[in-house]
Amino acid sequence: MFIIGFMMICFLTGVWSQIKLDQSPNVVKRPGETVKMSCVISGFDMTEYYIHWIRQKPGRALEWIGRMDAGKNSPIYASSFQDRFLMTEVVSSSSQYLEISSLTAEDSAVYFCARERYQKDSR
């Protein structure tokens, strides 16, 4: 068994107390199982931003998993995360999800969701 941890990062452009990305609690899974992590967003319209998923293994650098073009259900994955990783969203509940199937010990990490600093159309 191994532990998958969740944390959140938010690159803020507004007021700290209003913008929130709430993530799932830590879970322990067995190799071969599937995990689905959630990121519930409040304080801003998620469809105006890209939402990123990132992970960090113990003692290692951050790894970018991919990003969701929120509101369009259009994910882009880093090349090493294209097979077993699935990003989805439910706009009506302002929620983003990351699902990992066929878990291995190599998937043990802290996983983050993060909002891009700038709105999509203001780049």
pTM: 0.81
The whole-angstrom separation of Cα 26 and Cα 41 is: 18
In the chain, the percentage of residues whose pLDDT exceeds 70 is 85
Query: Which tens digit of pLDDT belongs to each residue from 45-102?
Result: 888 889 999 999 999 999 999 999 988 999 999 999 999 999 999 999 989 999 999 9
Give the pLDDT band (50/70/90) at residue 13: very low
* Cα angle: 119, vertex 99, 74; to 5 degrees: 35
How far is 72 from 25, CA to CA, in rounded Å?
26
Q: What is the mean pLDDT of residues 24-46?
A: 89
Per the listing, tokens 């700290």 go with 16
Mean pLDDT (whole number) for 20-43: 88
Strand partners, 54: 64, 112
Highest mean pLDDT of the ranges 2-11, 39-48, 113-122? 39-48
Per the DSSP assignment, residues forming a β-bridge with 109 are: none
Q: Name the residue ranges covered by the structural domains of the chain.
A: 2-122
Class of CATH domain 2-122: mainly beta
Phi (first) and psi of residue 16, to 5 degrees: -55, -45
